[in-house]
Structure 1
Amino acid sequence: MNGSEYIAEFLARIGSTRVFTLTGGACAFMVDAVGRHPELTYTCFQHEQSAAMAADAVWRVSRRVGVTIATSGPGATNLITGIACSYFDSIPSIHITGQVNQREASAFHGANVRQSGFQETKIVDMVRPITKYAVMVRSGEELRQELASAYAVAMSGRKGPVLIDVPMDVQKSEVEGDVILQPERSQTSEPTKTVAASIAMTFAKSRRPVVLWGGGVGLAGVEQQVADWLARAGIPFVSSWAGLTCFDHDHPGFLGQIGVYGNRGANFVLQNADAVLVLGSRLDNRQRSGNPRNFATGATVHVIDVDEEELQKFRNDSYRTSHLDFRHLPAVLENVALPEIDAEWRKYVTEMKNRYLGRETSASARRLNSLSPYDVVRRINEVVAADAIIAGDTGAAICWLHQAFKIRRHTLFTAGGNSPMGYALPAAIGAKLAAPHRQVISYNGDGGMQLNIQELQTLKHLHLDVAVVVMNNASYGIVRQFQDSHLGSRYSASQTGYSVPDFGRIAQAYGLRNARVERIDQITPNLFTGGAIVIEVMLSEQTLIEPKLEMGRPINDQFPYLSDAEYASGNRFVDYPRPKSLKGMLT
């Protein structure tokens, strides 16, 4: 085999049989080898960023590693946003870039030469901070070794993306020997008995415990065991956004998602707990708020994570921490001595759940006589298949989705850590290709839709049955709401200077069906079947995210503000004083 053929055979051996690409001169040999391999298929995208986002989605719905091949220079740099999505959300993916012949490279001519070969770019240096492994190979033997190493690293411990840069002379050079495969790298962690004892110590004096379910539980593939343990233990739990897709939301212990855009009841319960067990969550500032000192002030917080470096963030927070390979989490939990839960706590938890879970509404939409985005999301939830895949974008639209969508057997995901506009459409394409027998919905705001709108051509070309929902409020709604709170309602670049096309006519130009929704009863099951369609949902530009935390407040004091009496009822066990002045309206 030559280098390109070796790459194709390696991908077949690891089960990554579909490669996402936009071709170019420096990767043409590799794309050709993929096209000639009997077990591989390549899929062309209109932008390399979309290819990387599609590759990110492959793992989320199939647990197979997504792969891209891109050319040198702009082809390689266009991958970066999608690679960052995988890195921050711990998603394994493989990115293979073409590079100029080594004799043409700047390094061959001198260390200070900026560029020698056409489209030569030092992509390895650029992506090293957002990959687990990035390397340029210089020979056929290096290619064999480094492909195996990169894949093993991507799949080990806290998973993530890798990149292999392959000069054209290596793509054409002879490679001797069979394909090398390496086992996953060993993951060191604390012994399971040690972690179980530490959790037991956290729970020892607790009477008001709560578990925070993070994305790490699902990434380790232990979600069913953890859900079963929580049901048997009777401990209430809340979730991060990344964790929401991992369990049936009818689970008796589930209270809702927490954080800046979290459910009020879930936030109240977490803030009033005396012990918070955090399973695989980064606790970023969208969960704890910008001031982490306001987070669970009356509780012992115990964070368990697969990434030892991640735990270093909490060294100044007086949190308990445990480093654990999450594949061992079920065994740990089975050996934990359970807390004695106070009857008043159980009564309070039930009250918060009944009062707030699934009750999100839009006071702004009622005032404006406009569609409520929460009603729209719930209606979509009702009419799509029970195991539908929903790829979400960003901004206000993704907040409404996570706040109102109730998961049973669905798969709902977004690139939560990087959160780029334009993710949902290519991610939905990747998901549909990886899971062709499941219904797939791409869920977007009008702003995010315009970032990778060119992939409507990919939908059309591949004849994919994907419904593309566009929540059109003719603005960058999440920024607009921030400007209401902090910038005197000056809508610079969120509304002023921003414009929206006619998405229906654009869909027609691509040869796709389209629908315009102005009433809830127009959202029917037929919209989501029968081929690709663009569904434009018309909202007022003044539609808000409700509830939403404003800066400087704890997560249990969200806008629109509750009355003092209802706020005090929610904070029954721990006192969180409110600022004297409340900007905005009370509910």
Structure 2
Amino acid sequence: MDETGMNVSEYIVKYIEYKEIDKLFGIVGGASLWLCKAFGDSNKIEPVFTNHEQAAVMAAEGWARMTGKPGIVLTINGPGMTNTVTGIAQAWTDSAPIILLTGNSNLQSVKFERENNLRQYGTQDVRTDIIMQGITKKTILLEAAEDVKDCMDEAFRLATEGRPGPVVIEVPINIQSSEVPEGIGFGNDNTNDNSKFDKYQRNIPTSDYDKILNKLKDARRPLILAGQGVRLSGAVKEFREFIYKYDIPVVNSRMGIDSITSNDRHFVGRCGNHGDRASHFALQTCDVLLVLGCRLAPNATGYDVTKFSQQSYKMMIEIDPTEKVTNGIPIDDIVMSDLADFIYYALKKTDTNSSMHEKWVKCCNDWKYRYPVVTEKYYNNESISTYRVVDIASKLATEDDLILSDTGSCCSILAQAWNVKANQRVFISGGLSAMGYYVTTMGLALANNDNNRNVICFVGDGSFQMNIQELATIAKYQLPIKVIIISNKGYQFVRMSQGAYGINPPFGTDIEYGVPIPDIGKIVEAYGLHYSDCRKAEELENSIRNVLNSKAPEVLEIFVDRDQEVCPRLKSVAKEDGTFVSPEFANLYPFLGEEVLTKELQKADEI
């Protein structure tokens, strides 16, 4: 396609239209003047205006993770750009494709400031390139109109290829209005190719794949640790076929939570600092461990990595070369590859048996059913347990719903206790763990084309204060998000940690000790949204059901047990000299007796 008579801003908008992207998130300003005009003239891209740039990026991330296309964000330089930093860092750590278009002063001013290493030259000018350097795949300064196609091609390619991530494009105000030379089109860049398997069928290390597959088949107790990379590879359906064909149990990291359904006989549990017993038993007794799409972060392996699955032969499929370096965990075989290639290759093999590891699968299922996360004790108290909230919501949710949790105790509890159904998507702030992440649901809702598919959001009363201004955005666009506020008088997760280390009274974690949390009901209603609350356990199920059955935006505040502990969890043990030591990875708190623990782990040896 060849377009003439356009300026740079118009070309950028046409390029985004060509990529079949129909949403723009952001806040406008003088430094993005011509970009604003071009987007305003588009009849194919709907602008979504938020009340803070951080929220714009987070909403774009939600949209991107649903559609698989880059989320587009528009801001200005200076404070507009700096306000995006948390959102961009979030996209960077959790591998979401974002393209941030930021206006800037005229090119001469920008170059003068940078060439002379000035603190600042023009009003609102700061060094976008330096600020964004560590949290983006690249920051591009567009210096000439004739470079605009190459700039956009590179940004889209970087944002989506390999391990996805954010890219920033700085467009100086005088470049925005510069005329694009004739003959510059949009095609021949291959970035519209969404066929994952076709795109990556090249340079496949088949001998390395065969070695891994043979190891798995020969193992007595093979195990897969699956992270978000399964979802990022676009091969969730194929992954589920793969584990069935090779009869291998699966443990999830928190970010990989929706790669397998909870009722699958191969699903064991979710591991980590706030994991479950079954997954930790399996990790500490497997003889071969295949790591797929998981970077072995400390929140998955525990902070004392020397205790993580020491006995197993470890193999990893990894697409990001920087993740080849593991901190203290020896990996016997690392294959640099897109894991979709590996799974697709493995599915072509015919020498498999879907019950080849039947005894091992039964052992893992036995652990899972005898050591559930949600137990009767959470239903026997007058106070409302957060575990009970998550369990009831999980049972009421449909198999197609979209679920997101903000950070804090509600995130850890949801990651432990949510039962994933067939087509559900589950989102958490796994890397950055940012308070205010709940506004990502705005992007989920905008990408959701099924009116019968709920967007369910869990957020603590403390985190809710971050980005609370976006209630106006939810109301303006009538986004049918079901916000469930876990109200525990502050930052319960931090309060729990302080208590474990003897910090009492708590510092900066509680309404009673200075944390300013206002009347949430009054605020929600002031924004024009419907508010309800639940203070009694016997009213909990109906309260949640009513919210989920509504077609409108809803905010339900549930007053839960203020001191709800996250259990089970890895908990350090205090020694007499005041120092702390990490427990064995298999023994989560509340600790099992040594005899019981040994007996459980020995069951695997009998296979």
Normalising by structure 1, report the TM-score: 0.92
Match of 2:435 in 1: 421
**Cα distance in 1 between the residues matched to 2:379 and 2:117:** 59
1:488 deviation in Å? 3.8
- Structure 2 residue 279 is matched with structure 1 residue 272: no
2:285, 2:604 within 8 Å by CA — same for their partners in 1? yes
What amino acid is aligned across from residue 485 of structure 2 in structure 1?
Answer: V
1:541 to 532, 553, 562: 562
Match of 1:143 in 2: 148
1:363 deviation in Å? 5.4
Name the % identity: 28
- Structure 2 residue 378 is matched with structure 1 residue 348: no
Alignment deviations for residues 420-475 of structure 1 (CA, whole Å, 9 cap, x no partner): 00011x21111111114232122111111111000000011112211111101112
Matched ranges for 1:342-491 at <5 A: 345-357=360-372, 359-361=373-375, 369-408=382-421, 409-424=423-438, 426-437=439-450, 438-491=453-506
1:336 deviation in Å? 9.1
Match of 2:232 in 1: 219
2:190 to 146, 170, 183: 183
1:190, 1:324 within 8 Å by CA — same for their partners in 2? no
Instruction: Give me the CA root mean square deviation.
Output: 2.4
**Cα distance in 2 between the residues matched to 1:347 and 1:385:** 28
- Structure 2 residue 172 is matched with structure 1 residue 172: no
Match of 2:91 in 1: 86
1:64 deviation in Å? 2.4
1:84, 1:418 within 8 Å by CA — same for their partners in 2? yes
Match of 2:514 in 1: 497
Alignment deviations for residues 218-265 of structure 1 (CA, whole Å, 9 cap, x no partner): 111111111112112221111111211123222221111111111211
Match of 1:572 in 2: 602
Match of 1:59 in 2: 64
**Cα distance in 2 between the residues matched to 1:9 and 1:25:** 21
Match of 1:510 in 2: 527
What amino acid is aligned across from residue 399 of structure 1 in structure 2?
Answer: S
Matched ranges for 1:37-186 at <5 A: 37-105=42-110, 107=112, 111-176=116-181, 177-181=183-187, 182-184=189-191
Alignment deviations for residues 396-422 of structure 1 (CA, whole Å, 9 cap, x no partner): 010111111111121110221111000
**Cα distance in 2 between the residues matched to 1:476 and 1:189:** 49
Q: 1:445 to 1:336 in 2, by over 3 A?
A: farther
1:360, 1:546 within 8 Å by CA — same for their partners in 2? no
Alignment deviations for residues 110-163 of structure 1 (CA, whole Å, 9 cap, x no partner): 513221111012112211211112111111112221111111111111111111
Name the count of aligned residue pairs: 572
Match of 1:526 in 2: 546
**Cα distance in 1 between the residues matched to 2:569 and 2:459:** 19
1:310 deviation in Å? 0.7
Q: 1:200 to 1:337 in 2, by over 3 A?
A: farther
Match of 1:257 in 2: 270
2:308, 2:329 within 8 Å by CA — same for their partners in 1? no
**Cα distance in 1 between the residues matched to 2:479 and 2:399:** 19
1:260, 1:555 within 8 Å by CA — same for their partners in 2? no
Alignment deviations for residues 59-118 of structure 1 (CA, whole Å, 9 cap, x no partner): 222222211000110101111111111111111111100101123336269513221111
**Cα distance in 2 between the residues matched to 1:10 and 1:231:** 42
2:33, 2:173 within 8 Å by CA — same for their partners in 1? no
Alignment deviations for residues 326-360 of structure 1 (CA, whole Å, 9 cap, x no partner): 23122332349769967753442231122124x42
* Residue range with higher mean Cα deviation, 103-112 or 335-344: 335-344
What amino acid is aligned across from residue 526 of structure 1 in structure 2?
Answer: N
**Cα distance in 2 between the residues matched to 1:250 and 1:574:** 22
What amino acid is aligned across from residue 360 of structure 1 in structure 2?
Answer: V
Match of 2:196 in 1: none
Gaps of 5+ in 1: 576-587
Q: 1:249 to 1:318 in 2, by over 3 A?
A: closer
Match of 1:581 in 2: none
What amino acid is aligned across from residue 560 of structure 2 in structure 1?
Answer: L
Alignment deviations for residues 192-229 of structure 1 (CA, whole Å, 9 cap, x no partner): 41222221453365211111112111111111111112
3-state SS of paired residue (2:564)? coil
What amino acid is aligned across from residue 504 of structure 1 in structure 2?
Answer: G
1:503, 1:534 within 8 Å by CA — same for their partners in 2? no
**Cα distance in 1 between the residues matched to 2:604 and 2:361:** 16
2:7, 2:177 within 8 Å by CA — same for their partners in 1? yes
Q: 1:58 to 1:342 in 2, by over 3 A?
A: closer
What amino acid is aligned across from residue 499 of structure 1 in structure 2?
Answer: P
Q: 1:543 to 1:225 in 2, by over 3 A?
A: same
1:48 deviation in Å? 0.2
3-state SS of paired residue (2:100)? strand
Q: 1:361 to 1:450 in 2, by over 3 A?
A: farther
**Cα distance in 2 between the residues matched to 1:360 and 1:299:** 29
Match of 1:287 in 2: 300
**Cα distance in 1 between the residues matched to 2:415 and 2:338:** 28
Q: 1:280 to 1:109 in 2, by over 3 A?
A: closer
Q: 1:318 to 1:403 in 2, by over 3 A?
A: closer
**Cα distance in 2 between the residues matched to 1:87 and 1:346:** 36
1:388, 1:410 within 8 Å by CA — same for their partners in 2? yes
**Cα distance in 2 between the residues matched to 1:462 and 1:347:** 49
Alignment deviations for residues 158-189 of structure 1 (CA, whole Å, 9 cap, x no partner): 11111100100011111123333422598798
2:245, 2:352 within 8 Å by CA — same for their partners in 1? no
Matched ranges for 1:316-355 at <5 A: 317-334=330-347, 335=349, 345-355=360-370
What amino acid is aligned across from residue 562 of structure 1 in structure 2?
Answer: L
- Structure 2 residue 198 is matched with structure 1 residue 198: no
2:70, 2:156 within 8 Å by CA — same for their partners in 1? no
